[in-house]
Amino acid sequence: MFISQYLDDVVAWAPAKVNLFLEVLGKRPDGYHEIATLMVAVRLFDTLVFRESANLTLHISNAQLSTGDDNLVLKAAKLLQNRTDVKKGANIRLIKRIPMAAGLAGGSTDAAATLGGLNRLWQLGLSATELATVGAEIGSDIPFFFRTPAAWCTGRGEIVAPVNLPIPLDFVLLCPSFGMPTASVYKNVVLPSQPVAGDEFKHALAKGDVDLIGRLMHNRLQLAAEKIDGRLAEYAALLQEARPAGCLMSGSGSTVFALCRSADDAKRVAQEMKPATKERDFRLIVTRTL
pLDDT value at residue 213: 98
Is 111 or 63 the better-scoring residue by pLDDT? Answer: 111
Quote the percentage of the chain above a pLDDT of 90.
92
Q: What is the mean pLDDT of residues 123-152?
A: 97
pLDDT value at residue 62: 87
Q: 93: which strand partners?
A: 49, 59
Inform me whether the pLDDT recorded for 115 exceeds 80: yes
Q: Tell me whether residue 17 is one of the annotated catalytic residues.
A: yes
Look up the pTM and report it. Answer: 0.96
Inform me whether the pLDDT recorded for 244 exceeds 90: yes
Q: How confident is the model at residue 94 (pLDDT cuts 50, 70, 90)?
A: very high
pLDDT value at residue 69: 87
Q: How confident is the model at residue 79 (pLDDT cuts 50, 70, 90)?
A: very high
Q: pLDDT (tens digit, 9 = 90+) per residue, 153-205? A: 999 999 999 999 999 999 999 999 999 999 999 999 999 999 999 999 999 99
Catalytic residue among 17, 46, 110, 170: 17
Least confident of 24-33, 86-95, 132-141, 226-235: 24-33
Annotate 85-122 with DSSP letters as a single string. Answer: T---EEEEEEE--SPTTSSS-HHHHHHHHHHHHHHHHT
Quote the percentage of the chain above a pLDDT of 70.
100
Q: 5: which strand partners?
A: 10
pLDDT value at residue 113: 98
Catalytic residue among 46, 141, 170, 265: 141
Q: What is the mean pLDDT of residues 148-153?
A: 98
Q: Which domains does the chain have, with CATH numbers?
A: 2-162 (3.30.230.10), 170-288 (3.30.70.890)
C-alpha dist (Å) from residue 94 to 8, 12, 122: 16, 10, 18
Helices 106-121 & 72-84, crossing angle to 10 degrees? 40
Mean pLDDT of the chain: 96
Q: Tell me whether residue 229 is one of the annotated catalytic residues.
A: no
Q: What is the mean pLDDT of residues 228-254?
A: 97
Between CA 265 and CA 270 the distance in angstroms is: 9
Inform me whether the pLDDT recorded for 279 exceeds 80: no
Between CA 71 and CA 129 the distance in angstroms is: 23
